[in-house]
């Protein structure tokens, strides 16, 4: 059953610590918002991802979403949560919507499926978990409260789009609801609950980031992380031809790069830098030029392989910087496309990928335009 996802990321909350609203804060190398966007992007039933942002935040959100930005529709939210959801639901195109808090990074398809299944018989559904701790009021001494019949309510909360839209229309400007289930209840929708997920907890306080890192497999009690770096260098000869591929981007020009693969010196230098960071030798060892399989190959495959080797070695890339050294082609017009392609292939955010170019003042082989050189450096954290 297909649905539109609405991710509410319009909060300014700083309770989680740090200088940034928590949806932009870093969790193991990625902004928090990316986790839930990626979870929805991986679900084939998700037909649309709407991200509700603080007014004026479009550029910051686009940068935080990195390669996922193109999958998302950004909508500016309102002063309160319900106003933000209302802004999101206006552009929802599917018959069903899943409304989610950006601050709950660990959600997955099994939870989404439980919710959409519930919509076959109900107008709305939310994931819930039992309360296990004892409860008490403390305003006039210790006054125990029965936990019988009490549940913790999570997100995403799922609804049939048309009935929730109608409920919002009826609510008019009365938008002081803590969540969509409350608004739906107030307007007579039929509601149910499904089993929640302990991992779908909401990041609220600084300690929740520690819990999140533990879920991601980081040894936060006994941190043995070290910063590592790798560098790469590559050269390919230029000759007459019909174009070159550099940093994964095709450039139409009257020459080509000579090599066994597509001779993308930018991606080769970066691949070597990543292999350097995880101490796994060089590109020639993994992809020998004598191997027929790599004849004319798209060098993206080499880079993806190196990124996978790094992941297996516990090396998490944090930043990549590439310098292209050539008189031609001119890199400036292609710089942004190269940056986006490298971000996509490495999984890094755009603001952690840099492409720059220089000439050698007509000196040497690059100056005589006999060839082109590339250098790359990456930093990473090994745990």
Residues 199-228 that bind Mg ion (CB under 5 A): none
- Dump the DSSP string for 248-312: TEEE--SEEEESSS---HHHHHHHHHHHHHTT---HHHHS-TT-GGGTT--THHHHHHHHHHHHH
Establish if 234 lies at the interface with Mg ion (CB under 5 A): yes
57 vs 234 by CB, closer to Mg ion: 234
| Nearest distance from C-beta of residue 323 to Mg ion, angstroms | 15
| Nearest distance from C-beta of residue 324 to Mg ion, angstroms | 13
| Nearest distance from C-beta of residue 245 to Mg ion, angstroms | 12
106 vs 294 by CB, closer to Mg ion: 294
Residue corresponding to tokens 């980031």: 209
Interface residue with Mg ion, options 268, 316, 334, 352 (CB under 5 A): 268
Binding-residue total with Mg ion (CB under 5 A)? 2
Note the helical H segments in the chain: 32-42, 58-65, 81-90, 109-118, 161-171, 180-186, 206-215, 265-277, 283-286, 300-312, 335-346, 364-367
| Nearest distance from C-beta of residue 299 to Mg ion, angstroms | 8
Establish if 316 lies at the interface with Mg ion (CB under 5 A): no
Report the length, in residues, of the chain: 383
22 vs 268 by CB, closer to Mg ion: 268
- CA atoms of 110 and 231, how far apart (whole Å): 41
The neighbouring-strand residues paired with 125 are 158, 192
Can you read off the two tokens belonging to residue 220?
């936060």
| Nearest distance from C-beta of residue 237 to Mg ion, angstroms | 10
| Nearest distance from C-beta of residue 247 to Mg ion, angstroms | 13
- Given the rule CB under 5 A, which of 40-48, 160-168, 231-239, 300-308 is the region that contacts Mg ion? 231-239
- CA atoms of 111 and 41, how far apart (whole Å): 14
81 vs 268 by CB, closer to Mg ion: 268
Instruction: Please give the residue ranges that form the binding site for Mg ion (CB under 5 A).
Output: 234, 268
């Amino acid at each position: 059953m297909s649905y539109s996802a609405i991710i509410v990321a319009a909060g300014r909350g700083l309770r989680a610590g740090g200088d940034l609203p928590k949806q932009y804060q870093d969790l193991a190398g990625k902004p928090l918002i990316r986790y839930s966007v990626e979870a929805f992007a991986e679900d084939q039933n998700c037909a649309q991802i709407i991200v509700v942002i603080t007014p004026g935040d479009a550029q910051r959100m686009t940068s935080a979403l990195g390669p996922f930005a193109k999958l998302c529709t950004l909508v500016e939210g309102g002063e309160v949560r319900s106003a933000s959801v209302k802004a999101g639901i206006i552009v929802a195109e599917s018959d069903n919507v899943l409304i989610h808090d950006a601050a709950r990074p660990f959600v997955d398809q099994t939870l989404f499926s439980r919710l959409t299944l519930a919509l076959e018989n109900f107008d709305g559904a939310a994931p819930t978990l039992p309360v296990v701790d004892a409860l008490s009021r403390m305003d006039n001494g210790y006054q125990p409260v029965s936990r019988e019949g009490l549940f913790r309510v999570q997100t995403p909360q799922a609804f049939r789009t048309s009935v929730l839209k109608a409920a919002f229309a009826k609510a008019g400007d009365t938008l002081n609801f803590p969540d969509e289930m409350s608004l739906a209840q107030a307007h007579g929708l039929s509601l149910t609950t499904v089993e929640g997920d302990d991992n779908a907890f909401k990041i609220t306080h600084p300690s929740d980031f520690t819990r999140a890192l533990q879920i991601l497999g980081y040894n936060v009690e006994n941190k043995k992380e070290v910063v590592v770096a790798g560098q790469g260098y590559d050269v390919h000869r230029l000759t007459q031809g019909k174009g070159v591929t550099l940093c994964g981007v095709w450039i139409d020009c009257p020459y080509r790069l000579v090599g066994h693969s597509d001779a993308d010196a930018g991606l080769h230098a970066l691949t070597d830098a990543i292999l350097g960071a995880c101490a796994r030798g060089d590109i020639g060892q993994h992809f020998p030029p004598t191997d027929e399989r790599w004849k004319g190959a798209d060098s993206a495959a080499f880079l993806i392989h190196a990124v996978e080797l790094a992941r297996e070695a516990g090396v998490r890339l944090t930043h990549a910087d590439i310098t292209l050294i050539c008189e031609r082609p001119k890199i400036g017009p292609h710089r942004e496309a190269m940056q986006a392609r490298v971000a996509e292939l490495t999984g890094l955010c755009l603001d952690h990928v840099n492409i720059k170019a220089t000439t050698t003042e007509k000196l040497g082989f690059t100056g005589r335009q006999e060839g082109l050189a590339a250098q790359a450096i990456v930093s990473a954290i090994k745990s």
